[in-house]
Each structure stands twice: as structure tokens, then as C-alpha cells.
């Protein structure tokens, strides 16, 4: 039986905390039919009042999302005494051999401790530029839903807590129980945040990249080189690539592809245009290219996005 502490920081995302407890409870319910329940769960609450907690003997510490909506709110919360105490708690637990797991903005809490330095991690996609800026020693894989770089695992935005918890169950109680939990709770396997990442939101955080995004949309029907795009926003190609990566977490080619695929999906959902017509409208000479990219990024064929009624 794995001893688990769920660290709930005051104001944490209620759905994230609930998902954590629900998945662990489901694993215990299913697992108990064959053997002793796999998890013994303790809830630790970190608030404004000091609460000395002893996590000796705890093998797994899970931190649900912090529940912050903006970068300013996140930075303020990270400086708060309760987050600093939670960070100390995580460091002590890690020092005694505990595995750590956090998703969404709570990945920043892990990063603040330095425990993620030199490791791979993911975070909520809309905070990815801030994460890269604050923690250059961490390899951020923002398109990934879960990065299990054991003994530390991180998850992406909000509902990625479900995916993170399935990874935790698989690690501690076996992949068959993780699959049983997913089936019981009707959870689909999702490996990437990419289909949910709004490139417009990310690009808006750098004026030159926002201008580049606008230029791509205005020229989307024709083929163009990345050098032409960089020149349109008065940046050298290498500088443009560096700023696109810092802002959006993708290469220039992926940046253009993401805009084209967003446009294609919108046209699939709102028009009766054929895939061939849509491909031409967004700059792909071959419809097969569009079909392949949609399947790669969404795991669905183009027809999946047509309205059903």
C-alpha cells in the first residue's frame, strides 16, 4: 500500500483536487476486489496559518492545481508564505525519497524549489512563456499532457490532472489498474495539449510574434518561406525562430502549421467546403497533407470535426 499525501494549498483548483481524490478512490475500490487497496491517502492543507506537517513515511506527494487565472496572480501566490511552506514541504519529502506529482500552475511551485532543474516538465500551456522565462534550467515540453520524469511527474492545464493521476496509478499500482480506472471513469487517453493550445493567445505575448501571426493569416492561402515571414516582421530568421520558441514553444514551421490547422478546423466546423477546397484555402497543394496533419495533431480524421446535425 502506497502512502499518499495530497497537498491542497488554500484556493487550489477544486476540480483538480476532486479529480485527485476520485481517481485514487476508484483505484482503491477496483484494487480492493483483488487485494489490499493500493493507496492510503492523507490530505494536507496549506493555508495562511502555519501548520507543521510531518510527511515521514509518505511515498507520494500530489499537488493539485493552484487555481490562479493570470500570470500576476500566479507570481503573487508563489511569493505567499503558504506556497513557500508548501515548497519546503515538497523539498523535505523529496529528500526522504517521496515521488512528487503536480499539474497546471502547481508545476511552478515545484520549479521554485529547484527540484525540476535539469529535468523535463510540462505545465499549463498558457503559462508556458512565463515558465520558460523563469526557469531556463528546465526542459519544458509544453505540448505534452503529462511528463513523467520519475521521481517527479508534471501535468498540463487544468483537466490534465486526470491524465497525471492515471500516470501515477500506473506507476504505483500497475498499468492494468490505470486502464481499469480510465474505463470506470470514462477517461480518454490524451497525450498532447497541442489540439487545445490557442496560438493567438500565445503569440499575443510578444508584439512581433503577434504581428507574424496576423501576417500568416493574411497570407495563408499561398506558399511562403519562413525567411519571408521573418522579414515581414523585421527579424532575422534565427531571431524570429528564437522568439517564436520562447513565446509559443514551437518552431517557425510548427507555428505556421498550427495557424493553418486552426483555420482548417474552423472551416470544417462551420462550412460545407470539401477537404480539398479547405486545403487550397490554407496553402496546402495536396489535401493528403492536411489530412495527415489533422490526424497527427488530433488523432481524428477531418470528418470528425463536421457538425453532426
Average pLDDT, the chain: 91
Q: Domain 2-194: which CATH class?
A: alpha beta
Q: Is the pLDDT of residue 286 over 90?
A: yes
**C-beta neighbour count of 124 within 10 angstroms:** 25
pLDDT attached to residue 23: 95
Q: Is the pLDDT of residue 120 over 90?
A: yes
CB-based contact 173:38 (threshold 8 Å): yes
The reply to whether 198-305 shares the fold of 2-194 is no
> What are the boundaries of each domain within the chain?
2-194, 198-305
Which H/E stretch holds residue 62? strand 60-63
Q: Output the nine-digit C-alpha cell for 217.
A: 493569416
pLDDT in tens, 27-60: 999 988 767 899 999 999 988 776 667 788 999 9
CA 183 vs CA 120, 180, 227, 298: distances in Å: 29, 5, 48, 21
CA 87 to chain centre: 21
Q: Averaged over 62-89, what is the pLDDT?
A: 93
pLDDT attached to residue 194: 66
Q: Domain 198-305: which CATH class?
A: mainly alpha
Give the model's confidence band at 195: pLDDT under 50 very low, under 70 low, under 90 confident, else very high: low
pLDDT attached to residue 38: 94
Q: Is the pLDDT of residue 86 over 90?
A: yes
Amino acid at each position: 500500500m502506497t502512502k499518499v499525501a495530497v497537498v491542497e494549498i488554500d484556493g487550489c483548483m477544486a476540480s483538480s483536487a476532486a479529480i485527485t481524490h476520485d481517481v485514487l478512490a476508484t483505484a482503491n475500490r477496483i484494487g480492493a476486489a483483488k487485494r489490499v487497496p493500493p493507496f492510503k491517502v492523507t490530505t494536507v492543507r496549506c493555508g495562511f496559518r502555519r501548520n507543521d506537517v510531518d510527511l515521514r513515511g509518505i511515498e507520494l506527494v500530489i499537488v493539485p492545481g493552484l487555481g490562479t487565472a493570470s500570470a500576476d496572480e500566479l507570481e503573487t501566490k508563489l511569493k505567499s508564505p503558504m506556497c513557500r511552506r508548501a515548497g519546503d514541504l515538497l523539498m523535505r519529502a523529496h529528500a526522504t525519497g517521496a515521488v512528487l506529482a503536480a499539474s497546471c500552475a502547481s508545476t511552478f511551485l515545484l520549479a521554485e524549489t529547484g527540484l525540476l532543474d535539469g529535468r523535463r516538465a510540462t505545465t499549463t500551456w498558457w503559462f508556458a512563456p512565463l515558465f520558460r522565462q523563469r526557469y531556463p534550467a528546465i526542459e519544458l515540453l509544453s505540448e505534452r499532457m503529462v511528463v513523467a520524469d520519475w521521481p517527479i511527474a508534471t501535468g498540463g492545464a487544468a483537466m490534465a490532472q486526470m491524465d497525471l493521476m492515471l500516470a501515477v496509478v500506473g506507476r504505483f499500482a500497475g498499468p492494468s489498474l490505470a486502464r481499469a480506472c480510465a474505463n470506470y471513469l470514462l477517461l480518454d487517453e490524451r497525450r498532447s495539449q497541442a489540439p487545445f493550445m490557442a496560438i493567438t493567445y500565445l503569440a499575443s505575448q510578444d508584439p512581433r510574434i503577434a504581428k507574424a501571426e496576423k501576417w500568416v493569416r493574411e497570407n495563408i492561402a499561398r506558399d511562403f518561406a519562413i525567411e519571408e515571414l521573418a522579414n515581414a516582421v523585421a527579424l532575422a530568421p534565427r531571431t524570429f525562430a528564437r522568439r517564436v520558441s520562447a513565446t509559443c514553444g514551437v518552431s517557425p514551421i510548427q507555428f505556421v502549421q498550427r495557424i493553418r490547422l486552426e483555420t482548417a478546423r474552423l472551416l470544417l466546423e462551420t462550412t460545407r467546403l470539401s477537404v480539398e477546397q479547405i486545403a487550397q484555402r490554407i496553402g496546402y497543394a495536396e489535401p493528403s497533407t492536411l489530412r495527415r496533419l489533422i490526424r497527427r495533431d488530433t488523432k481524428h480524421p477531418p470528418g470528425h470535426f463536421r457538425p453532426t446535425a
